[in-house]
Every structure is written in structure tokens, then in C-alpha cells.
Amino acid sequence: MTKILVTGGAGYIGSHACKVLAREGYTPVVFDNLSTGWEQAAKFGPLERGDLLDRAQIDAAFARHRPAAVMHFAALSQVGESMLVPGWYWRSNILGAANLAEAAVAAGCQRFIFSSTCATYGDQDGVVLDENSLQAPINAYGASKRAIEDLLSNFDASFGLKNVIFRYFNVAGADEEAEVGEFHQPETHLIPLVLDAIDGTRPKLTIYGTDYDTPDGTCIRDYVHVMDLVEAHVLGLKWLESGRDSRAFNLGTGSGFSVREVMDAAGAVTNRAVPFEEGPRRAGDATRLVSGSNRAIDELGWQPRRSTMPQMIGDAWRWHKTGGYGA
């Protein structure tokens, strides 16, 4: 079967991508240093334990498996942390991507799917962001991802490394069968934090900022179900397999939910109250980020059919109750 090298394939999104790749008849080869990923999540194909900052380890993985394409998920990805240690984000994310792109070209692997982010657009309030919106990141995380997009454009021009870039918004939910799911230590994403507060794993949720210019004062984000998201990545792979040119796509629903709206929805799904406290804003957080995803729908045939808040929370809650990889 055709092999796909999946960097970060033991992490949240990468593990779901591996499940869908295997379902579609591919063999996902996980390349992960397990710094934030979980060996238990690498269950859909072989695991290569390695670091993207070590070019020799990447070359060895390409030589052993000869993948037909790369799906690149591995990255440092915490906005707040990137404001505190920006150099770490620039070194790790960009050098890792450069090593990976160089290794792919050297191995004759000319298809590259990249996990980018809406954080490349920065803080553009009141605007539905499409692929032609100004990219003006306001934190090192978004800036490093924007730089990798430029790097891939250079590699396409110089070496014909065809790429599909996905800029996505807040990812939520879990595999409906609860084989894999979201399990970070420490956890930083809103929905699992809400669920932790609901079941008492943490005393309460902290709302960071209640004075934003939104109807209820809390940040607004566009949420997409992780299974919808990774199915778009497989469509992106097929796009490249069909000989299409490099392309960037937003992945979101076009609808935004505030922090308080997410809390209310979680309470309704679980029939439990969400204990919370209010805290100050975090540096680098945008007020409102909402996607325009017509290009993915029109050109890839993508449909975010699971990306309703009740289903995302319901699937996340089912996974949450398994205890995750710490069970």
C-alpha cells in the first residue's frame, strides 16, 4: 500500500489523520519525537521515533519507507508560550520544516501537505477570513507558520515540491469510536479544559478576558471537528495525486462561538454545570477569528458535516470519559 509520512502522527490531529489514511487504503508512517504525542496513539501504521531537528533521522525514515507524500503536523503550537519564548518557536518550527522539505526533495517525494493555522491572519476583527485575507500574525506561533508557507512556496518554485496548505481554526472533538482523541499535558485547549472542569479533574475553568468587543465579552473562535479536518487532508492528498498545483485552503465553518457559548453548549450536552472564574486577557489572543471555507468546499468537495458544537462536544466527552492515554 502507498505510504504517507505523517509527522506528529502520535499527536491529536496527526493520530486522527492516520486513522483516516488507513481507512482510505494508505499506510501512515508516524514520525514523532513523542515530546507531546503518545505512543498509544500510533496504532494505524509503523512508528518512527525521531526529531525533525535531526536531518539524519528524517533521511533514514525516507530511506526505510519511501513515502509517496508527507503530511506535516509536528510543531510547537501554543500561542501564549510562543509569546514568552519566540526564538524557540522560530528555531523548532522553521528549521524542522526546512529539514523535512529538504529530505523530501532529496528522496524524490514531491507531495507535501502542511498543517498551517488561522493565526497567520493575526487579529482582523469583524472580518470573515478567506485565503486572500492579509496575513499579519501577531505572535511567534503564527509567524513561524507563515514563514513555513513561504518556505514551501520557495521549494515549489525551485524543486517542484507541490504542496497543499491548510489554515485551520480551532479543532475540537474526537474520533467517534473513541480510539484516539485529544490528550495534552498540560491541556491548553478550551473544550477539554471545560470538560475537565465539569468532571472535577480541575477545580474550575479560567476565562481569559471578559472585556473583548464581542456580545458577551469573551473571544470568538471558529471550531471544526477533527474528523472533518483530517478528511480534508486526505482530499488534499488526492488533489496532489491528481497532478494539481499547489494550493492553500482555509478549514472552518464560517460560524464563531464565544468562550461562554462553548461553556453553555458543554453544560447542555453533559447536563452538568461548568465551574469557572474570570481572569485577565492572554498576550497574543485575537478577539475574533472566523473562517471563510468556500474554496475547500468548492474545489476539494469538502463538507464539515460533523462540525456542530453539540457533536464536537459530545464526541470529545465520549473520549474524555475513557481517561485518554493516561487511563
Cα–Cα distance for residue pair 250/74, rounded to 1 Å? 19
- Active-site residue, from 12, 89, 141, 212: 141
Q: Where are the alpha helices (DSSP H) in 168-283?
A: 190-199, 226-241, 259-270
172 three-class SS: strand
Nearest to 80 by CA among 288, 221, 283: 283
165 three-class SS: strand
109 three-class SS: coil
Nearest to 75 by CA among 168, 181, 210: 168
Cα–Cα distance for residue pair 278/241, rounded to 1 Å? 49
Beta bridge partners of 225: 172
Nearest to 41 by CA among 177, 174, 180: 180
CA distances from 65 to 45, 47, 110 (A): 11, 11, 15
**Residue pair 35/96 in contact by the 8 Å Cβ criterion:** no
Nearest to 293 by CA among 229, 226, 220, 238: 229
Quick check: is 325 catalytic? no
Chain-centre distance for alpha carbon 166: 9
Q: Are strands 256-258 and 220-225 parallel, antiparallel or unpaired?
A: antiparallel
DSSP string covering 28-70, please? EEEEE--SSS-GGG--SS-EEE--TT-HHHHHHHHHHH--SEE
How far apart are the two ends of the chain, measured CA to CA in Å?
33
Look at the block and give the residue holding cell 472535577: 200
Catalytic residues: 141
